[in-house]
Amino acid sequence: MKRRFATWFFVAKLPEGASVSVDGEEMVEARWVRPEDAVAEHQAGKLRLPPPTVVSLIDLSQHRSVDAAVAAARRRIPPYFFPKVCADDPDDVVMLYPGDAGYKSGNRSVQGARHRAMWVDGVITYQRDFSFPDRDAL
């Protein structure tokens, strides 16, 4: 990608009846959707999302409730994502994240731990085979 973005994601329980203001620039439409439904729509090619959003939604979809997601976020050290993009072919892009065996070298073929997103035809899949560390573990 030619541009890099710094993005922070927060997890919070919204009050009943919360609304969103669409500004027409940064956001052109809005709707409330469960994380797992948004991921399913994305994987079906019906909802185009950028990699950080897909990864965050996949993470959120692992929790049974908003309270469980908030509790998990409070327990863990916030993960840091600074991708190394491997894109020899624009139709086969892999983004390696810290913790992936190939991250330091930028080589997606290195065997070992996986922490990456694969981007094929605008659809992103995410793979992480370890847990993010809890605050109490340090």
Q: What is the spatial distance between Cα 82 and Cα 127, in angstroms, rounded to a whole number? A: 15
Furthest C-alpha separation in the chain: 48
What is the per-residue pLDDT across 24-55, written as a single tens digit (0 to 9) for each?
Answer: 998 899 999 999 999 999 999 999 988 889 99
Sheet strands (E) in the chain: 84-89, 92-96, 115-120, 123-128
pLDDT of residue 80: 85
Find where tokens 């624009």 sit: 90
Q: Which residues pair with 123 in a beta bridge?
A: 120
Q: Which residues pair with 76 in a beta bridge?
A: 134
Q: In this model, does residue 137 exceed pLDDT 80?
A: no
Q: What is the spatial distance between Cα 108 and Cα 85, in angstroms, rounded to a whole number? A: 9
What is the per-residue pLDDT across 19-29, written as a single tens digit (0 to 9) for each?
Answer: 899 999 988 99
What is the per-residue pLDDT across 64-115, written as a single tens digit (0 to 9) for each?
Answer: 999 999 999 999 998 888 999 998 887 889 999 999 999 999 999 999 999 9
